[in-house]
Amino acid sequence: MSRMIGIDLGTTNSCVAVMEGGEAVVIPSADGGRTTPSVVAFAANGERLVGQNAKRQAAVSPERTVTSIKREMGTDFRVRIDGKAYTPPEISAMILSKLKHDAEDYLGEPVTDAVITVPAYFTDAQRQATKDAGQIAGLNVLRLVNEPTAAALAYGLDREAPQRIMVYDLGGGTFDVSILSLSGGVFEVLATAGDNRLGGDDFDAALTEYILDEFRKAERIDLRRDAAAMQRVREAAEKAKIELSGLVQTTVELPFICVQHGEPKNLSVPITRAVFDRLTAHLIERTRKPVEQALRDAGCWVGEIDRVLLVGGSTRIPAVQRFIADFMGKEPSRGINPDECVALGAALQSGVLSGTLTGLLLLDVTPLSLGIETVGDQFSRVIDRNTSIPITKSRIFSTASNFQSSVDVHVLQGEAERASRNKTLGKFRLSGIRRAPAGVPQIEVTFDIDSNGIVHVSARDLDTGRAQDITITASGNLSREEIDRAVEDARRYEAESAGIRAESELRMRAENLVKEASTAIRADRKRAAALDEPVKRVKRALKARDTEELRAACGALESVLHAGC
């Protein structure tokens, strides 16, 4: 059985961890970092770059670089590069594949099984898209775990006295807040709320706009039409945001940001923490309503919360910490790295699933209500939000018109009373029901939510026994055929990529051999005659891009170079 890994697939950064010796440990990336930027870039030669290398390319080739794809999961958004359209699950799969390879290099063995975390407030469509991404990356996703729940596991709270905690999770692209009850190794989620379009990216965007406006005031130049300049400003804004967590003032310096009338222009914008706080106060305030909702749904008041945990890199912002401390009336806990704790929690859950870790039980909830559309654009709930999962629940409906032989079941997720204001998860038709006056047929609609929060719906005519069911697949997600095709594309790319890497390494070897030969000739001119032709052969093969000839030429040159050694 291969090792199981835990993955935090983040908006701006991702992290992978594994159980070792009964403890969860972070697996470093091939670049040496403990997290991997969730960035994918497409080089001109067809090579895909993921992580730090992709982030470096963003400054020079932003149109071929993809960031924050997590925000588009579960939608019909497409990234178009070189005439090909990539879905969010396909881009996410490239990030997951990088994490998978890093884990395999670290462990020295293949990895196939994984636990992946998702924001607690992710919809069914977003959860399905995450599972699709894992499958495309060659991973068997055994469980999707909500990020706040994973973070609570990582804090090691299972070893402490019974308590209620709040997890305030402000990441790069999403915000979640969960209330949990912890007792005797049981982690029970009482309520969750959030905002899937709020995170560190929005803080960066606010600061970016400020920098652009200040430069325009000083130079009367609007950089918004310059893609390369915009990317530099965005990166500088992110860096300034991070610096302002430890400093009260910083200055964004970008030399040669643009050229006007043949004269290069430099950007220099001082920013104080007070200015940053003013620019982003509305973003922090947006977290208030979900926090209040989670407390109400959990039946708790502020004084009943024993501990507040901060998760996600954006909780390092001092104003965020002040907000939650003032709101809750207590200082939040900071016992673990907010960038790593979610991946560590995922690894701990992998330990539970594999049997290497015992005594822990997760009881999570569904974040949004589920139901169907009924007459008059009404949303009829079958399962209320914050119901513990997994769960199966049924409700009896009937026909709206006389002598109907079929009914359309429109499955929805949301909190609005009007069906049209909620999110459509899917539609299906139950045919062959007994023809009878309106209100007579008994149609049983059953919702089943598994431990991953993924929805299955069925409808059955209790009179005839006719039934129909559906595993929800949102319109923005991939069909089974599309997933299979994406898996094949990923495998084909892996083979092509291995060839590209091998050719690149061979060319590097050839260039180094030519340099070594030049050094040997300078040191001993008598060797020139023996080395001249082998060196020329290598250079000809390099120019012709003939891989087989280059390999043979390198072997011949090496033999002459190292003869007598």
**Catalytic site positions:** 8, 70, 147, 169
Nearest 10 degrees: CA dihedral of 87, 89, 94, 99? 160
Structure tokens at 373: 């559309």
In contact, 146 and 192? CB cutoff 8 Å: yes
b/e map of 173-189 (b: 16 or more CB within 10 Å)? Answer: bbbbbbbbbbeeeebbb
Residues ≥6 apart with Cβ < 8 Å to 378: 417, 418, 419
Structure tokens at 183: 């007792």
Helix ranges (DSSP H) in 48-87:
52-58
Strand runs labelled E in 297-377: 307-311, 361-365, 370-374
Q: What is the rounded CA–CA span in Å between residue 395 and residue 469?
A: 15
Q: What is the DSSP letter of 418?
A: B
Residues ≥6 apart with Cβ < 8 Å to 369: 379, 381, 383, 384, 385, 413, 414, 415
Q: What is the rounded CA–CA span in Å between residue 274 and residue 261?
A: 36
Q: Output phi, psi for 381, to 5 deg.
A: -75, 140
Q: What is the rounded CA–CA span in Å between residue 151 and residue 142?
A: 18
Q: Name the 3-class secondary structure at 181.
A: strand
User: Across-strand partners of 195?
Assistant: 175
Type and span of the H or E element at 166: strand 163-170
In contact, 18 and 5? CB cutoff 8 Å: yes
Longest CA span, the chain = 106
Q: What DSSP letter does each residue of 236-303 carry, written as one string? A: HHHHHHHHTTT-SEEEEEEEEEEEETTEEEEEEEEEEHHHHHHHHHHHHHTTHHHHHHHHHHHT--GG
Q: Beta 65-67 vs 84-86: how paired, if at all? A: unpaired
Structure tokens at 135: 């499958």
